[in-house]
Amino acid sequence: MAQNYYVYVTAESEDEVAVVKFDGEQAKAVQTIPVGVWPTEIEGPHGITISPDGKYWYLTLAHGIPFGTLYKYSTETNEQLGKTTLGLFPASMQISKATGLLYCVNFNLHGDMVPSTVSVVDPETMTELKRITTGAMPHGSRISPDGTKHYSVAMMSGELFEIDALRLEVIRVLSLDDTADTEHMQHQNHAAYRSSAMDQAPGMKHSKVKPTWVIPHPQWNKVYVAGNGVDQVFEVDLSSWTVTNKFSTGKGPYNLEISPDGTKLVVTYKSEGATGVWDLKTGKELAKISNSRKVSHGIAIAPDNKFAFVSVEGIGGEPGAVDVIDLNELTLVATAEVGKQAGGIAFWKIEH
């Protein structure tokens, strides 16, 4: 029986969110929702997530005057229902099924090199409850399967943070740079992110690993971290809180997602415009699939484990896109064009 898959995807340089439908053969943006309040400024919709009951979607707008904003929309009408101000460049987020609260990193990508925070928001009242200090440029906000732990990585300080999602405090911090394999370190041009001493907290370092994402395994007691600066994915055992495995990947692993059955890890290689699919049992890359654009970004996997939806940014005036990858055939099967700089992506529903 044919079924339709729906995802939400942001277009960060278009100030739009698109609803993309894939019918098994073709993918197409079926609705485009303009977002933001400052018409002549690019406000940058970045992170997006759907509530566990599927009734709402939540969007972070990175830029503001100067703080970013979290918005709440109805999936039924795509009307805005509420908003609250967060920190600088709020980015990725997720809702815990244990607490019902939303956890969002304040990425502060362009700000001073100082520790940033994770905002905890009550999505019912759209009230920010707490900001938990983590590292510099936190990204990749993901919740453990039981909803009791929150994970994020700090891109510039190279750390993995585990937060107690109930007590709202940091439990453990793992320095990934201490475990990095120097042979795999890229010689990154850090000049672009170089800050003068006046913009940097004392003792703040530039991570060589540059972790950009973390994803808990749905069944195993592990998380996986994208080491964007060293072209590796780190496997971290949560019992020992140590790195137990590293996979050498394509260039610039950026976002990660694991299929709900726990068998496949999907990785976007941002620096080469491709997506890798890995067998987590064997630790081998099954395929590296070229994306339709040169900058691969985010991933959402359908609950039936069949398809991965990958947002790809484009360059300059080129539209962004959502590529659909068949996880069994390991091929790109469809592409839907969306607004410029497609980024955050979230799976919504399957309809028969």
Partner 1 sequence: MDKVKYFNISIFLLAFCPLWAQESATIKVEPANLKMEIDEEQTIRAIVVDGEGHLIEERTVLYYSGKGLSVDSLGNITAHEPGDHQVIIISPDSAGDILRNEYVVQVAFPPLAKIEIKEIPQKIYAGTSFPVVIEVYDEKNFKREDVKVILSSSDPDVISFDSFHNLTAQKPGSCQIRAAVKGIESTMEVAVIANPVVKLEIKSDKQEARTGDVVHIEANAFDDKGNSINDIPIHYSFEGRSYDISTNASGLIKQDGRFVADEAGLYNITVTSGSYVARLSINILPRKVDRKIELVGSGLVSDKHTSDLWIWEGVDGRDYAVTGTWGADGTAYFWDVTDPANIIRIDSIQVDARTVNDVKVSEDGRICVISREGASNRKNGILILDVTNPSEVEIISTFTENLTGGVHNVFIYANHVYALSDGQKYYIINIEDPRDPVAVGKFELETPGHAIHDVWVEDGIAYSSNWQDGIQMVDVGNGIAGGSPSNPVQFASYNYPSGAHHATFPFTSPSTGKFYVLLGDEIFPHGLNLNGPNIAGGFLHFVDFTILDHPEEIARFEVPGAGTHNFWIDGETLYLAYYNGGVRVVDISGELMGDLYKQGREIAFILPSDPHGFVPNSPFTWGAQLHKGHIFYSDFNSGLWAAKLTPETPEDIKVETD
Please give the residue ranges that form the binding site for partner 1 (CB under 8 A).
Answer: 12-14, 38-42, 52, 63-67, 89, 96-101, 109-111, 120, 122, 124-125, 127-130, 146-148, 166-168, 191-196, 198-199, 295, 313-318, 340-341
Enter the tokens of residue 312.
Answer: 């790809």
* CB 48 to partner 1: min, Å: 18
Other C-beta atoms lying within 10 Å of the C-beta of residue 155: 29
C-beta of 295 vs 302, nearer to partner 1 = 295
Please, are residues 237 and 244 in contact by the beta-carbon 8 Å criterion?
A: yes
C-beta of 295 vs 327, nearer to partner 1 = 295
Burial class of 148 by CB neighbour count within 10 A (0 to 12, 13 to 18, 19+): middle
* CB 192 to partner 1: min, Å: 5
β-bridge mates for residue 33, sequence order = 17
C-beta of 119 vs 265, nearer to partner 1 = 119
To 10 degrees, the CA torsion angle through 334, 326, 309, 158?
-130
* CB 298 to partner 1: min, Å: 14
Q: How many Cα atoms sit within 13 Å of 130 on the Cβ side?
A: 13
* CB 59 to partner 1: min, Å: 17
C-beta of 39 vs 202, nearer to partner 1 = 39
* CB 130 to partner 1: min, Å: 7
3-state helix, strand, coil in the chain (%, to 5): 5, 55, 45
* CB 102 to partner 1: min, Å: 12
Buried/exposed 190-211: b ≥16 CB within 10 Å, e otherwise: eeeeebeeeebeeebebbbbbb
C-beta of 51 vs 175, nearer to partner 1 = 51
* CB 27 to partner 1: min, Å: 22
- DSSP-derived letter for residue 64 is -
* CB 86 to partner 1: min, Å: 12
Q: How many Cα atoms sit within 13 Å of 261 on the Cβ side?
A: 11
Question: Helix, strand or coil for residue 2?
Answer: coil
Helix (H) / strand (E) containing 74: strand 69-74
Query: Per-residue DSSP letters for 253-304?
Result: EEEEEE-TTS-EEEEEETTTTEEEEEETTTTEEEEEEE-SSS-EEEEEE-TT
C-beta of 144 vs 280, nearer to partner 1 = 144
C-beta of 115 vs 145, nearer to partner 1 = 145
C-beta of 149 vs 246, nearer to partner 1 = 149
